[in-house]
């Protein structure tokens, strides 16, 4: 291991400092007000790839609609997708429901209490299993995410590549030993303290706020003035670009939507009709003759871009007034679009204001 410090000793000394700092500085977040497994689990899943401020309204709305695991397990697919609409990474919601159904059938409706049983639920990996195990059940199981890796590698000047599964496993094992030595009743707080430190002090973007860091006197990277070198990551692959012409087909007040396939990107959600490639106005009209939507009048044409993790969609959004409503599409009102139809952000950004905000 390429580290200049004794990791166990450094970490052992850091634990009480982080616990005290967390007690005095933690943010008041809705999912920290209790340690109910359903709440902690839901928040951890929502917070993956999503900012805290963006998650707050979703978390409140989700719990208002589905207050317990039983309600989640029985929820209609379209209702679930609507509750998740705009959060992205929709497989998270599908897995949440699958896991809720597992809790109902395999665990009699009670959230399991052991790391192995929690880890076996759908959509729960090492990180989430560690978070729920430690926060809800005080188990000595760390939750190692990007925030924790940043603090860890800087604290110890650990120059191994954190994208390597074996390195992450080793860091997790090292932390597990530290957790096992941490007094009972404080393991969940340690998990939260590590996450909080990485999110608010040893921040992911820009310079860390070392002057207010509780472990600044222990931090090897700060001592060596090499903070920006950690964590070591693999070079990111560039995103693939895909081009589409997306149609907003409006007949009276209704617009055409269709269901996406049950597998692949945005599986099972609604979408606007679209064709591969980008078209100019007349070509866009000519190329949908087979859809039999009747005469088309062009209202607007504009460019939109949506970025997924690995793909960029470059779209030409074509708003057409049409005269027929063929059955190949589902025709929905603006009100249905707002309240019932889960249309992912990639398509929602193509809609003109007149449809998203008819008033
Ligand atoms: Fe991060 Fe600075 Fe704290 Fe080190 S001292 S853990 S670099 S915030």
Tokens of 284: 């866009």
222 lines ligand 1 (CB under 6 A): yes
Cβ contact 161:167 at 8 Å: yes
Sign of CA dihedral 289, 293, 294, 296: negative
219 lines ligand 1 (CB under 6 A): yes
Cβ contact 278:245 at 8 Å: yes
> Mean pLDDT over residues 49-56, rounded?
94
pLDDT in tens, 191-241: 999 999 999 999 999 999 999 999 999 999 999 999 999 999 998 888 999
pLDDT of residue 49: 86
Cβ contact 312:243 at 8 Å: no
Active-site residue flag, 44:
yes
Tokens of 248: 């907003």
Q: Band the pLDDT of 352: cuts 50, 70, 90.
A: confident
How would you write 49-96 as a 3-class SS string?
Answer: CCCHHHHHHHHHHHHHHCCCHHHHHHCCHHHHHHHHCCCCCCHHHHHH
Residue of the nearest CA to atom 5 in ligand 1? 216
32 SS3 class: helix
Q: Band the pLDDT of 303: cuts 50, 70, 90.
A: very high
Given ligand 1 and candidates 4, 10, 201, which is best to mutate, with the most ligand atoms within 8 Å of its CB? Answer: 201
What is the residue-wise DSSP string for 171-234? HHHHHHHHHHHSPTT-HHHHHHHHHHHHHHTS-SSS---GGG-TTTTT-HHHHHT-GGG-SB-P
pLDDT of residue 1: 42
Task: Give residues with Cβ within 8 angstroms of 98, minimum separation 6.
Answer: 122, 123
172 lines ligand 1 (CB under 6 A): no
Residue of the nearest CA to atom 2 in ligand 1? 210
> Mean pLDDT over residues 158-177, rounded?
96
Q: How far is Cα 187 from Cα 321, in angstroms, rounded to an integer?
A: 60
pLDDT of residue 7: 76
| 201 CA from centroid of ligand 1 (Å) | 7
Residue of the nearest CA to atom 1 in ligand 1? 202
The ranges assigned to domains in the chain are 7-229, 240-356
> Mean pLDDT over residues 276-290, rounded?
95
pLDDT of residue 5: 56
* 246 DSSP β-pair partners: 274, 317
Instruction: Say yes or no: do domains 7-229 and 240-356 share a fold.
Output: no
Given ligand 1 and candidates 203, 215, 217, which is best to mutate, with the most ligand atoms within 8 Å of its CB? Answer: 215
Architecture of the CATH domain 7-229: Orthogonal Bundle (1.10)
pLDDT in tens, 322-341: 999 999 999 999 999 999 99
Q: Band the pLDDT of 263: cuts 50, 70, 90.
A: confident
210 lines ligand 1 (CB under 6 A): yes
pLDDT, averaged across the chain: 94
The pTM for the full model equals 0.87
pLDDT of residue 2: 44
Which helix (H) or strand (E) segment holds residue 17: the answer is helix 7-25
Task: Give residues with Cβ within 8 angstroms of 266, minimum separation 6.
Answer: 90, 260, 344, 346
Statement: residue 118 has pLDDT above 70:
yes
Q: Band the pLDDT of 309: cuts 50, 70, 90.
A: confident
199 lines ligand 1 (CB under 6 A): no
Q: Band the pLDDT of 357: cuts 50, 70, 90.
A: low
Active-site option among 44, 85, 196, 220: 44
Tokens of 266: 């945005």
pLDDT of residue 356: 66
Task: Give residues with Cβ within 8 angstroms of 115, minimum separation 6.
Answer: 129, 130, 133, 139, 141
| 135 CA from centroid of ligand 1 (Å) | 24
pLDDT of residue 359: 52
Q: How far is Cα 128 from Cα 349, in angstroms, rounded to an integer?
A: 31
> Which atom of ligand 1 has the smallest separation from the CA of 230?
7
How would you write 90-120 as a 3-class SS string?
Answer: CHHHHHHHHHHHHHHHHCCCCCCCCHHHHHC
| 168 CA from centroid of ligand 1 (Å) | 19
Residue of the nearest CA to atom 4 in ligand 1? 219
208 lines ligand 1 (CB under 6 A): yes
Cβ contact 94:264 at 8 Å: no
Report the topology of domain 240-356: Nucleoside Triphosphate Pyrophosphohydrolase (3.90.79)
């Amino acid at each position: 291991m390429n580290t200049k410090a004794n990791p166990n000793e450094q970490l052992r000394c850091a634990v009480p400092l982080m616990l005290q700092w967390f007690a005095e500085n933690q943010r008041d977040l809705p999912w920290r007000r209790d340690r109910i497994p359903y709440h902690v689990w839901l928040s951890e899943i929502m917070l993956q790839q999503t900012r805290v401020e963006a998650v707050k309204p979703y978390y409140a709305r989700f719990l208002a609609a589905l207050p317990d695991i039983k309600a989640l397990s029985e929820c209609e697919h379209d209702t679930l997708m609507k509750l998740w609409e705009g959060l992205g990474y929709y497989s998270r919601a599908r897995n949440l429901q699958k896991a809720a159904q597992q809790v109902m059938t395999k665990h009699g409706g009670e959230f399991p209490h052991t790391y192995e049983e929690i880890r076996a639920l759908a959509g729960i990996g090492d990180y989430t299993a560690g978070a729920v195990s430690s926060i809800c059940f005080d188990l000595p199981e760390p939750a190692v995410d990007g925030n924790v890796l940043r603090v860890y590698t800087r604290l110890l000047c650990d120059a191994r590549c954190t994208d390597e599964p074996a390195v992450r496993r080793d860091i997790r094992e090292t932390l597990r030993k530290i957790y096992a030595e941490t007094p009972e009743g404080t393991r969940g707080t340690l998990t939260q303290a590590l996450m909080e430190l990485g999110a608010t002090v040893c921040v992911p973007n820009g310079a860390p706020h070392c002057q207010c860091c509780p472990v600044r006197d222990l931090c090897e990277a700060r001592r060596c003035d090499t903070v920006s070198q950690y964590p070591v990551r693999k070079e990111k692959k560039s995103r693939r670009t895909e081009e589409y012409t997306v149609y907003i087909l409006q007949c009276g007040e209704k617009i055409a939507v269709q269901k996406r396939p049950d597998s692949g990107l945005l599986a099972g959600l609604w979408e606007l009709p679209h064709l591969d490639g980008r078209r100019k106005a007349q070509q866009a009209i000519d190329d949908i003759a087979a859809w039999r939507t009747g005469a088309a009048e062009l209202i607007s044409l504009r460019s939109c871009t949506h970025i997924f993790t690995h793909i960029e969609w470059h779209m030409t959004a074509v708003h057409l007034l049409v005269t027929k409503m063929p059955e190949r599409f589902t025709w929905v009102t603006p009100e249905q679009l707002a309240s019932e139809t889960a249309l992912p952000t990639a398509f929602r950004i193509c809609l003109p204001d007149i449809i998203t905000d008819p008033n």
